Amino acid sequence: MINRRRLLQLGGSVALGSALPLGAMQAEACTRVLWNNPGRQVLVGRTMDWPESTEPKLYALPAGLARDGGKLGPHVVVPQNPLRWRARYGSLIAAAYDLGAVDGVNARGLAGHLLYLTETDFGARDVTRPGLQAGLWLQYALDCAATVAEALALLAPVQPVMIEAEGHKASVHLAIEDATGDSAIIEYIGGQAVIHHSPEDRVMTNDPPYAQQLVLLKQMQSDPAFIHPSRNTPLPGNVNPVDRFQRASFFSQFLPEPKTERDATAAMFSIMANVSVPIGAPYKDFGTYNTEYRSVINLSTRTYYFQLTTVPSVSWTRLDGLDLKAGAPALTLDPDGVDIGGDVVRRYRPVTPPF
């Protein structure tokens, strides 16, 4: 339950129009929610919403792998001063188009997520800074950091570089969290890094930039109509990022204290289902897309739960059941199968790492 900073909500999106103009933003939809109350297991959920399949695959990537942040597949996209590194930690990730991690957790319990942000601007290339193609932004953090603080220090001198794949630019912002419950959100606005670093930074959607989402949060907290919420509390019900932010914030405050990991996982999946975009409605006509998958990560037990919306089952992988030590083979699992469900750790198969 969210007690230390009570999350309230405005009475409908009309009240937000002057502060957060929806018409000025695209509405590609993803949502991230962190559940990090002291003394409990730390969990995070996300939805992936996209105009087409991202061809998601799960990869177990051992420590010791060498990476080149200047390449996008076989193509060199950062010709000058590319960032190159060797993974310190193994990780389990969900990839998009086999070009980079968009979701995942490492063996130390650091997790992260890339979400769309219209206003992303990494700035003109500064060749004095190591360049990292944006599709590997998250992977670099998972490979090399054990905590949010370590990740921020590692990422500070690095410049993400915009790429385009499958007709889509990597206009993304990055959320990271660790097993202590720490949290950070990194955005590039006008070519400058904007960093929000606090365990209180729990709910994040796409647009607007996170600073404006915090303005919305303050408005929600000050609305007397929602200090004592009830079943009659009016909630915005559309699928745009602002409405999803409000619903995720509102319902997160009611999460019950879980008795088991199963209880906690189910509770988080219920929040992510509430902010998902149902399949089949004509949302593409106004720039919002169906939810392709939902994930929940238990950072305390290093367990990755995954559910394609077209598959009726949830699968899970405990990182402790994988060999992620240096020298171990990389492994993969295609989650697109009606028989994929339950503990799938034994269903991974060796693969050449895609990046």
d(CA 297, CA 45): 6
Which of 14-23, 104-113, 139-148 has the least mean pLDDT?
14-23
Strand-pair category, 131-133 with 159-161 = parallel
Contacts of 230 (CB under 8 A, 6+ apart): none
346/293 Cα distance (integer angstroms) = 22
Residue tagged 């070519």 (tokens): 191
> Can you give the pLDDT at residue 272?
97
Residue 20 binned pLDDT confidence (cut-offs 50, 70, 90):
very low
Nearest alpha carbon to residue 236 among 7, 9, 2: 9
Digit-coded pLDDT (tens) for 313-323: 999 999 999 99
User: What integer pLDDT is reported at residue 138 of this predicted model?
Assistant: 98
Of 233, 144, 196, the residue nearest 34 (C-alpha): 196
Domain boundaries, the chain: 27-207+260-350
Active site residue 144: no
Q: Where are the alpha helices (DSSP H) in 145-240?
A: 148-155, 210-222
Reported confidence tier of residue 226, pLDDT bands at 50, 70, 90: low
Element counts in the chain: helices (H) and strands (E): 5, 24
**Could you tell me which of 241, 114, 213, 98 has the C-alpha nearest to residue 171?**
114
Regarding pTM above 0.85, the answer is yes
Alpha helices in 164-260 (DSSP H): 210-222, 241-252
Catalytic hit among 30, 96, 111, 151: 30
In angstroms, the CA 18 to CA 28 distance is 21
Assigned fold of 27-207+260-350: Penicillin V Acylase; Chain A (3.60.60)
pLDDT at 129 over 80: yes
Burial of residue 114 (number of CB atoms within 10 Å: 0-12, 13-18, 19+): buried
